[in-house]
Amino acid sequence: MSLDHPLERIIIIGSGVTGLTVANLMRTEFPRADITIIAAETPTTASPSADYASMWAGAHYRPIPRSSHQLEQEFDMALRTAEIMKEIAKVASEAGVKLMPGVEYLEDPPEAVLSLKTGDMYAGPDDEFRVLEQEELPLGVRWGCEYQSYCINVPVYSRWLLDRFLASDGRVVKHRLTSAAEAFEFAEKNGLGKVSTIVNCSGRNFDRDGKVKIIRGQTVLVRQEYGKTVTRQNHDGTWSFLIPRPLHGGTIIGGTKEIGDMEERPRPQTRKELLRQSVKYFPDFVDSVEKFDVVKDNVGRRPWREGGYRIEVESINRDKKILHGYGAGGRGYELSWSAAEKIVALVKQATFIGPKL
């Protein structure tokens, strides 16, 4: 097939978790293709912007039950990704992925979770899913559960993906493009040759797709460590969560979900509130605000898209195609491997069918 042709050239825009995962998977699927990432920011960027979402994630895996989900496809994508993440945790502990229990507390549970029973599959096969007993629930919580999840130290993991790609002959060019289509010209002008396939994993920065919105997230990184990830959803719509970062990366205390809020600086009042809530809801972690060993405040913009993750082909003409992989919202890590598999499948298809698409 043509992708095995040594001259096949592919450009991936973006080196967030989406672009990096696609790049790694392509390296194994298309061993002879020439693959370049073009990205404004990469895991080696010293002070990443709020727009580079991958640097600001927790990140944990928190399933959203199939039945309560308007985008059913994501449930399966999360299961598939978990399968691969578990394998990475097992064979490459330096990647910063670690299996650990996940706990959820809901003050206001939707119907869909109330029907779940201990033993149901929630996060994957053998996830030890268990609905908590009434007497195990903290004050104010009406429903809770426990299961096997995983957490990711995101700076470490992103760097690991980047290094693996570079070590397998991948190329990374730091450059800010004005549009995805500009990548075709940029490649020719900069000696990368004629490129027929561009994969658009740009998060939100081109700002062309009116369906892309941002959801601001502010969190606090503290030095203290914890052995599980806990999420509490409150009646008033606020969230409180703890996400340990493996390999002694401390713990993320979160977090806000502020739609369309462009404030790039951390708000001191928000930090205070997050720490106060952590003490109130998770006293077995750190039992007074004064005791927190704060490393830093984080602000990131989740690249959310109305209608969901966009994974599809757009044909510019006979021999120029753009494949999209953006709009992961708050789930870019936990959907990453499955998203990459879908994108790679589309590349294969697009290259086979060629002009007919």
Ligand X SMILES: *[C@@H]1O[C@H](CO)[C@@H](O)[C@H](O)[C@H]1NC(C)=O
Ligand Y SMILES: Cc1cc2nc3c(=O)[nH]c(=O)nc-3n(C[C@H](O)[C@H](O)[C@H](O)COP(=O)(O)OP(=O)(O)OC[C@H]3O[C@@H](n4cnc5c(N)ncnc54)[C@H](O)[C@@H]3O)c2cc1C
Among 168, 179, 238, 315, binds ligand X (CB under 6 A): 179
Q: Is 291 in the site for ligand X (CB under 6 A)?
A: no
Residues 196-255 within binding reach of ligand Y (CB under 6 A)? 201-203, 205-206, 217, 219, 254-255
Place of tokens 């020719």: 188
In the complex with ligand Y, the residue whose CB is nearer, 56 or 337, is 56
181, interface contact from ligand Y, ligand X, none, CB < 5-8 Å by kind = ligand X
Exactly one of 232, 330, 340, 342 binds ligand Y (CB under 6 A); that residue is 330
| Shorter beta-carbon distance to ligand X: residue 209 or 261 | 209
Among 13, 89, 161, 195, binds ligand Y (CB under 6 A): 13
> Which of these ranges, 205-213, 216-224, 250-258, 346-354, lies near ligand X under the rule CB under 6 A?
205-213
Q: Does residue 334 belong to the site contacting ligand Y (CB under 6 A)?
A: yes
153, 205, 219, 251: which one binds ligand X (CB under 6 A) = 205
Question: Which of 212, 214, 221, 274 is the binder for ligand X (CB under 6 A)?
Answer: 212
What is the size of the binding site for ligand X (CB under 6 A)? 16
The nearer residue to ligand Y, 120 or 297, going by C-beta atoms, is 297
Q: Which of 12, 33, 123, 322 binds ligand X (CB under 6 A)?
A: 322
**Does residue number 181 form part of the binding site for ligand X (CB under 6 A)?**
yes
List interacting residues with ligand Y (CB under 6 A): 13-19, 38-41, 52-54, 56-60, 176-177, 201-203, 205-206, 217, 219, 254-255, 300, 302-303, 326, 328-334
